Chains A and B, each alone.
Chain A
Amino acid sequence: MDSIVDATIENIAVAQLTNLEVFSGVLQLLAETDRDIIVVTSDSRGSGKLVPFGQKFPEQIIEVGIAEQNLVGVAAGIASTGKKVFAVSPACFLTARALEQIKNDVAYSNNPVTLVGISAGVSYGALGSTHHSLHDFAVLRTINNLIIVAPADNFEAEQAVRLAAETDLPVYIRFGKKSMPLLSAEKSFEFGKGRLIREGSDLTIIATGETVEHACRAAQKLEREFNLTASIVSMHTIKPLDYNLLSEIAASDKPIITVEEHSIYGGLGEACASFLIQNNFRNRFKIIGIPDEYTVTGSQQEIFNHYGISEEGITKTALALLGE
């Protein structure tokens, strides 16, 4: 099947599509040959970039209105008949208001819905904390039987959607709204396997979702200005976490930084820390994320800059951790 993302070396670092546009494009490709692909939306057709999907496949899109609990319950009911259901809603509402439906109707009942959280993290920027989802990794990690994925770039977004359509397990995919550069020509992708985006020898930065780009920029700056090289891992799957890769990384005894567009509580960083400490790794370690507060007002980039989820901020954290 044709890919919609040209993940070649020439395209790296060029801003491409938003991951959501890739999501919509892949779904259209899949739906052309698979009538069992069903999208359920809660007045989120436009924000989910699904207008073209709805035009091409009007019988494969179900609108429930602004009613997230019903969105997830209906999606679970449809999935129970063997269809491949994508339930699409802003991550902030989907994973908070419909949490009980996610827990019971999707995960516990094992109805293989793909929950698509759009405009996640602080993508909505100055719209404020009602629209931010900085809790979703934390609450969803505690729910059994749910794969949690935050693709970093268009390639990972395409692969995640394809795999979600194939798997018979519930999946949560979290998308931002920014156009993303391709970060690597590496063409392997599996749920639960982190992707090594860049190799270095002084420290490792483990990032997820749209923060991976900023980790890459920081790594370039560290090399350019400080002659330090950092490995970069895109830990696109928050659960199940890639413990093998974590062990390999930690075995070097080099410092580790985690970066996420999420509360510093309960997300990627604490998941890594928990594994490392329980397995007797004692690497210097720092979690970069959003502190326990309602964020400063600003665009996604301004919020990132404010909390050090940026080229500048990650560089500074790295230097401090290395004692430079």
Chain B
Amino acid sequence: MSEKELAQKSVEYRKKILKYIYQAKAGHTGGSLSCIDILNVLYNHTMQVDASDFTSPDRDRYIQSKGHTVEALYVVLASRGFFPESDLDTLCKYQSHYIGHPTRKVHGVEQNTGALGHGLSLSVGTAIAGKLDKKDYRVFTVLGDGELPEGSNWEAALSASHYKLDNLCAILDKNTLQISGPTADVLNTDPVDKKFEAFGWEVRHVDGHDIKQLQDAFDALPFVKGKPSLIIAHTIKGKGISFMENQLKWHHGVPDPKQYEDAVQELDLYGATLVSA
């Protein structure tokens, strides 16, 4: 998929995220909108994974550590054919498999996540197994900046460099906001690049909404042979909807009918500019 097509895809994904959160009257809107470009490029450009052969031992793996932004994952998996998109009409409904955090009951989901600070250890284990088996698959995980104070992340970060896991790439969705305020105020983890570098990782910064920068960063993996890679994706919580961007209340805010209509209209207008560009 070309850069332009991917950009259009992101608009489509954003509309779907909003649609299903609006329908379900629940969801993590802001964070799904901040990480969607990352997932878009991962699943439509970078990763070797296929719905028809999901049990392949050689597939690339994606484990979503910030499980609460599952709506972003669900819409991407649906578009890649893992399940019919109409399944998402049941999101968070009684007896649906499509719960508010990733679950393996949904085709395409690698691990049940949702409690924070778990994805990196799971990814390290999966990457170690790949090394043991001399497989070429790669392991990707998206971390939230709000979950970094969980100590398990740092246990995992240490082990990733100890085992020279250059088949592991973590992407930090650095949207700088968490449920009770700016991440820097709640518990400052900056300079996060220096911290990961000190833990033996190779770190790069990208604009997490710039498709080209994301493509280039993923294409350059591993950044250094023998080291795990961290991509710090600078993102905007609520990205793409002007009245949601950088607004704390949209962490898990659900749009009312007027807001939903306005948001879709804004995305349509932006989408039209991409088509004509």
Chain A residues packing against B (C-beta within 8 Å): 38, 59-60, 62, 64-65, 67, 69-70, 72-83, 100-101, 104-105, 108-111
Contact B122–A73 (Cβ < 8 Å): yes
Name the residue of chain B whose CB is nearest to the CB of A110.
Answer: B104
Known contacts A70-B121, A81-B126, A105-B121; A64/B111 CB under 8 A:
no
Q: How far is the CA of A108 from the CA of B114 in the complex (A)?
A: 11
Interface: B208 (CB within 8 A): no
Given the complex, which residues of B lie within 8 Å of A64, measured CB to CB? 155, 159
B132 at the interface (CB under 8 A from A): yes
Separation in Å of the A34 CB from the closest CB of chain B? 13
Question: Which residue numbers of B lie inside 8 Å of A, CB to CB?
Answer: 57, 104, 110-115, 117-118, 120-130, 132-133, 151-152, 155-156, 158-159, 163
Q: Which residues of A contact B126 (CB under 8 A)?
A: 77-78, 80-81
Assembled-state Cα–Cα distance A38/B125 (Å): 11
CA distance A70 to B130 in the complex (A): 18
Q: Are B133 and A81 in contact, CB atoms less than 8 angstroms apart?
A: yes
**Are A70 and B155 in contact (CB-based, < 8 A)?**
yes
- Kindly list chain B residues whose C-beta atoms are within 8 Å of the C-beta of A73: 118, 120-122, 124-125, 152, 156
Measured CB to CB, the closest approach of chain B to A41, in angstroms, equals: 12
Known A74-B156, A81-B126, A83-B129: A109·B121 in contact at CB below 8 Å: no
Once the chains bind, are A104 and B156 in contact (CB under 8 Å)? no
> Roughly how many angstroms separate A59 CA and B117 CA in the complex, as a whole number?
27
Contact A77 B123 (CB under 8 A): yes
- Chain A contact residues: helix, strand, loop or mixed: helix
A105 & B122 in contact (Cβ 8 Å cutoff): yes
Distance of A190 Cα from B243 Cα, bound (Å): 61
- Give Cα A78 to B115, complex, Å: 19
Chain A residues, Cβ within 8 Å of B124? 70, 73-74, 77
Cβ-defined contact, A80 with B57, below 8 A:
no
If over half of B's interface residues share one DSSP class (helix, strand or loop), that class is named, otherwise mixed; here it is helix
Find out whether the CB atom of A76 lies under 8 angstroms from the CB atom of B104.
Answer: no
Whether B121 contacts A74 by the Cβ 8 Å rule is yes
Q: How far is the CB of A311 from chain B (nearest CB, A)?
A: 44
CA distance A77 to B57 in the complex (A): 13
Name the residue of chain A whose CB is nearest to the CB of B157: A70
The 10 closest A-B pairs by CB, nearest first: A77-B125, A73-B121, A70-B155, A74-B125, A67-B155, A81-B129, A77-B126, A69-B152, A109-B112, A77-B122
Q: Could you tell me the distance in whole angstroms from the C-beta of B28 to the nearest C-beta in chain A?
A: 18
Nearest CB of chain A from residue B48's CB, rounded to whole Å: 16
Assess the B159–A104 pair: CB atoms within 8 A: no
Residues of A near B151 (CB, < 8 A) are 69
For B57, list chain A residues within 8 Å (CB): 81-82
Question: Nearest Cβ in chain B — how far from A67, in angstroms?
Answer: 4
The interface centre, meaning the residue of B117, B120, B125, B156 with most chain A CB atoms within 10 A of its CB, is B125
Q: How far is the CA of A62 from the CA of B111 in the complex (A)?
A: 21
Given A73-B122, A74-B156, A105-B122, A80–B115 Cβ distance below 8 Å? no
Chain A residues with CB below 8 A from B127, complex form: 77
Least CB distance, A210 to chain B, in whole angstroms? 31
A77 closest partner in B (C-beta): B125
CA A62 to CA B120, docked complex, whole Å? 16
Complex alpha-carbon distance, A73 and B116, angstroms: 12
| Known contacts A67-B158, A108-B112: A80-B122 contact under CB 8 Å | yes
Nearest A-chain residue to B156, judged by Cβ? A70
Q: Which residue of B lies closest to A40 (CB)?
A: B125
Q: Once the chains bind, are A101 and B132 in contact (CB under 8 Å)?
A: no
On chain A, the residues within 8 Å of B123 by CB distance are: 77
The distance from the CB of B179 to the nearest CB of chain A, in whole angstroms, is 19
